Amino acid sequence: MAILKILPNPFRALIIGSSGTIGSAFIELLKQNPSCTEVVGVHRHAEHPIDYQNPESIESCAHSLLRDSPFQLIINTIGILHSNDWMPEKKLDDLNAEQLIALMKINAIGPALTIHSFSKLLDPKNSIMVTLSAKVGSIEDNRLGGWYSYRASKAALNMLIKTASIEWARTKPHSALIAMHPGTVNSRLSKPFRGEQIGRPAIDAVTDMFAVIENLTIEDSGSFVSYSGEKLPW
């Protein structure tokens, strides 16, 4: 029996967080893809801004894009690992409420509200929504410890995605909701952690991720997948 891929040809794409390293690379990649007839990007400083420090902007941004919908592919690349004020915790003594709250807001609450608000922009016939997560958010795969806030926020994100995917199986049976691990990319996020030495260029990362995305089937909805196509444990 033929495996039916979800992403149609042609398709229109929306990149959330398009001013970031991975988001801008996705814009570049999709502009060169003949199957992609249009790619739209939104970010904090866009005409219709989306800023996870201001949750109201999520619904406002989605509403402003209604006239441009539907999209067959939405990719959310927004995330935070560290700031000018703090780095990932190495030990329990480093744990603090401010950092935990900040990462939950950007890495879990913001993306969950984005799924809520932007799902109305998806093509009900065939569409995919991908949210970037991280392998360190896997509870089963956690063998090193540390990075409390980042791990917890990505684990929370994964649960929110998995839960929404179960509802989508009933309400959006032709749409897939995916959590995706991009791997280590040369970016502002990874720079303090030898990202330039152990990571790869953003264009290589998004090329790998898109190769997985374009082969997704409806049975993959609710999955946590790597840029290599590997299914990751929650």
CA 22 vs CA 136, 185, 209, 231: distances in Å: 18, 8, 11, 21
| Other residues' Cβ atoms within 10 Å of the Cβ of residue 209 | 28
pTM, two decimal places: 0.94
Q: What is the pLDDT along the chain (234 residues), one digit of tens a residue?
A: 456 899 999 999 999 999 999 999 999 999 999 999 999 999 999 999 999 999 999 999 999 999 999 999 999 999 999 888 889 999 999 999 999 999 999 999 999 999 999 999 999 999 999 999 999 999 999 999 999 999 999 999 999 999 999 999 999 999 999 999 999 998 665 555 554 566 799 999 999 999 999 999 999 999 999 999 999 999
> Could you say which architecture CATH assigns to the domain 11-226?
3-Layer(aba) Sandwich (3.40)
One-letter amino acid for residue 202 of the chain? A
| Other residues' Cβ atoms within 10 Å of the Cβ of residue 150 | 22
| Other residues' Cβ atoms within 10 Å of the Cβ of residue 43 | 20
